[in-house]
Amino acid sequence: MLKNKNNLILILALVILAIAVFIVWSGKNISFQRPYYAVYLQTGDMYFGHLCRFPRLTLTDIYFLQQVQNEGEMGLSLQKFEQAAFAPQDKMELNRSNIVWIAKLQPDSQVVQFIEGKLPLAEPSVSQPISSSPKP
């Protein structure tokens, strides 16, 4: 029995090693980044972050939409949740009955690009508004 268990462990280790060698030699760039999700609640609030479904529905690395007025125009900006006035932790447990919808965001969406720092900020202390129309 012990010999069979050792053989199984050896075979498993060889398979893992073979996969690793294949990945390195093939030049595949495999990414295990967690996707961002948008969560829209019945209150009209929208949050963006990494979604975890087990053991409870939670959101981390959270951003939210906030209306801002800039030079007489109304717009939206993304704000980091933990920087809100009431200083919450960067983890939110969601009540499923209050969720209207959940959507997985594409890696090239404006929201994800902003969160990952690929869209520059206008000023260091001010978040860049998200435009709803493409720029020429």
What residues does each domain of the chain span? Answer: 1-30, 37-115
pLDDT in tens, 89-129: 999 999 999 999 999 999 999 899 989 888 764 433 344 55
Long-range contacts of 79-83 (CB under 8 A, 24+ apart): 79/127, 81/47, 81/49
Region 1-18 average pLDDT: 82
Q: What per-residue confidence (pLDDT) applies to 7? A: 83
Q: What distance in Å separates the CA atoms of residue 43 and residue 28, rounded to the nearest whole number?
A: 44
Contact 105, 48 (CB under 8 A): yes
Q: Which CATH number applies to 37-115?
A: 2.30.30.100
Q: What per-residue confidence (pLDDT) applies to 33? A: 79
Q: What per-residue confidence (pLDDT) applies to 2? A: 58
Q: What per-residue confidence (pLDDT) applies to 126? A: 41
* pTM for the predicted model, two decimal places: 0.64
Q: What per-residue confidence (pLDDT) applies to 123? A: 39
Question: What radius of gyration do the chain's Cα atoms show?
Answer: 21
